[in-house]
Structure formats: C-alpha cells, structure tokens
Amino acid sequence: MAPPLVTHTGGCHCGAVRFQVRAPARLTAWDCNCTVCAMKRNTHFVVPAEAFTLLSGEAQLTEYRWGTGVARHRFCASCGVQAFYHPRSNPDGVAVTIHCIDAGTVEAVTVCSFDGLNWEAAFAASGIAAHSVAPAPAAAQISEEAAAS
C-alpha cells in the first residue's frame, strides 16, 4: 500500500516562485551526476504532474533545454534557483528540489544515486520512471490484493 501523502510547500530563494506538492513525508530523492545536476547539486524527488501545483511565479520562470531537449529545466529569472523541473526520466512528472521545500513536512529523505552520465543504462536499472505514476486508490489496491489471494 502506498504511504499517505502530505502537502509540502516551497519555492525559490527570493520567493517569487511558490509551489505545493502532494508527496509522502518520507521522500526518495535522486542525486544525479549528469553535467547539469552535478553543477547545480540538484537533489530532487519526482512526483506525478498532477501532484504538483505552481502557486505563483510562472512569469518569473526561465527555461533551459539541452541534449535531447526532453528535460525542461525551469528556474527563477530573479534569483536563479531551480525549485523544480520536468526531467527527462519522467517527462510526465515534476522533479522537486529537496532543499526548496519549506521546513516542517518532511520526516526523512532517502537519497539514491542516478548515473546521469550513463543515462540510458541508469534509467533502465533505477526504477525512477515509476515515481511519476500516481498510486492506485486504496480501494483498487485492496481489490487487486484480494484477487491475487
């Protein structure tokens, strides 16, 4: 059964960009060594797009794409902080920078390594794609468990 979700809030350094995200209190974050994440030291967790809401700052966001162009690196044009982005590994999701979450809702963070320098092999072995898939409702999970027994 999926862990219960809480509402985390956060944003960029200057406060122009603010968001909320529904995710567990105990998060799995990814430390990627690709050339962009390594330079930014971007440790992030991934959620389905529908779990993320941009509250303010759309006009402040600037976008950077490189390589395959799939990842949408969005950052505040005023302070330069990337509070979230749309990753290549999960184009149907949002990656939220762990250090941009406001204090008080995160109980624990487990950090996993992602070998972005060897992206294709790392993606296949990591299981990261499952992090942008919304969990099945509890009733459906119970029904699936009952059918399996």
What's the residue count for the chain?
149
How far, in Å, are 7, 23, 49, 89, 112 from residue 126 at the CA level? 26, 19, 20, 10, 9
Q: What is the mean pLDDT of the chain?
A: 84
User: Minimal CA–CA distance to 10: which of 96, 102, 98, 73?
Assistant: 102
How far, in Å, are 7, 11, 81, 85, 100 from residue 105 at the CA level? 8, 14, 21, 21, 12
Q: Give the separation between CA 35 and CA 42, rounded to whole angstroms.
A: 11
pLDDT at residue 17, as a whole number: 98
Query: With the CA atoms of 22, 92, 115 and 34 taken in that order, what torsion angle do they form, in degrees rounded to the nearest 10?
Result: -100
Examine the pLDDT at 97 and tell me if it is beyond 90.
Answer: yes
Domain with residues 5-148, CATH architecture:
Beta Complex (2.170)
Q: Which residues contact 58 (CB under 8 A, 6 or more apart)?
A: none
Domain boundaries, the chain: 5-148
pLDDT band of residue 130 (cuts 50, 70, 90) is: low
pLDDT tens digit sequence for 79-91: 999 999 998 888 8
Which tokens belong to 144?
């699936």
pLDDT band of residue 108 (cuts 50, 70, 90) is: very high
